[in-house]
Amino acid sequence: MPHRIFAPSIAALLIAGAALPAGPAPAASAGPTAPTAAMVNALASELAAGFVFPEVGARYAAALKQKLASGAYAAISDPEALAKALTSDLQAVAPDGHLKVFSPAATAKAGPRGAAGAEAQGLIASGWLADGVAYANFNLFPGDPETVAKVDAFIAAHAGAKVLIIDVRGHRGGGLAEMDRLFPQMFTRETALVTMDTRQAVEEQGDGPLRENATLRRQPSPAGVVRRTHYAMPAARPVWANTKIYLLTARRTASAAEHLALSLKRTGRATLVGEATRGANHFGGLAELPGGFGVFVPVGRTFDPDTGKDWEGSGVAPDVAVPAAEALGKALALAGVDPAKVRSLPAAR
């Protein structure tokens, strides 16, 4: 089976295409990569063995093999067009917010944090919006030491805030590292947040994106999956123990940010204000395919342990529904903040 590539922490929670490790680019003189039966068959095998739901993975594989046998891919000489056709065919079988096939050029172009280039990533703005009102704007949870250090500095600088507003309206995914810095300051006792299942076949090959630690613990698992629960482990003196917390959401809010949203909503620790999130639940990683192609394979899912439901396709619904552009103003109003005392939004940095 092709090797899967997972970023540190579980950055594989990223929405498809948002963060792909660099892969081999086609030689400049080689021209377009021809579609091959070997690549499509490898794709089918990868999905059958690794997709989060075994029955859906089998359906994906059967559909690809049928298309291949019919000659549907024989005339597609452009690698980008082939990747798009394969993705479209897979999504027609069963829609998934992360599943996507990448051409060699697309895989090579995207760096470890995606194709955003010089765009600020991680904690992009923070500060005091008013006396006692702390604000943090995240567009990614990359899990790198620099971002984690910024989160620690934000916590220290805003300890004892009466109101905390976390803005994830433009957040597209990431891992658990930043959340595991924030949660200990919000909870006063150990709290189960959400549960995560990973396909057992992937775990057995050592390719799983999750590892047990103090906040992520193995649980009794149904056949075919490995189950873990994500916990909030309180700090000795949580700085936001009595803080009102608001999470701003939008239709763009995706993946790991949805993990954050469900964790805070189901525990009642924050009020979600804005729009239903994107609905990209299933986490996974990039699998290498012949010819330099790649596929983001969703190998697991995150769900509410009380109901067994996840947010794939539907998103996490807000507690207070307003257009995303109005979410900040609404949160401030709910917190009882005098508009005359609100400062300018902290600049990105």
The domain segmentation of the chain, as residue ranges, is 4-109, 123-281+299-341
Indicate whether 111 pLDDT > 70: no
CB-neighbour burial class of residue 316 (10 A; exposed 0-12, middle 13-18, buried 19+): buried
**Per-residue pLDDT averaged across 180-197, rounded?**
98
User: Of 83 and 114, which is predicted with more confidence?
Assistant: 83
In whole angstroms, how far apart are CA 16 and each of 12, 30, 152, 219? Answer: 9, 27, 28, 28
Q: Is residue 312 within 8 Å of residue 279, measured between CB atoms? A: yes
User: Residue 66: pLDDT above 50?
Assistant: yes
231-280 per-position pLDDT tens digit: 999 999 999 999 999 999 999 999 999 999 999 999 999 999 999 999 99
**DSSP codes joined into one string, 67-103:** HHHHTTTTT---HHHHHHHHHHHHHHHS--SS-EEE-
pLDDT above 70: residue 10:
no
Contact by Cβ (8 Å): 10, 19: no
Give 115 or 123, the one with higher predicted confidence: 123
pLDDT digit string, tens, across residues 119-162: 568 999 999 999 999 999 999 999 999 999 999 999 999 999 99
Residue-wise pLDDT for 311-329, tens only, equals: 999 999 999 999 999 999 9
Mean pLDDT of the chain, nearest integer: 87
pLDDT band (50, 70, 90) for residue 95: very high
Q: For the domain with range 123-281+299-341, which CATH number is right: 3.90.226.10, 3.30.930.10, 3.40.50.450, 3.40.50.150?
A: 3.90.226.10
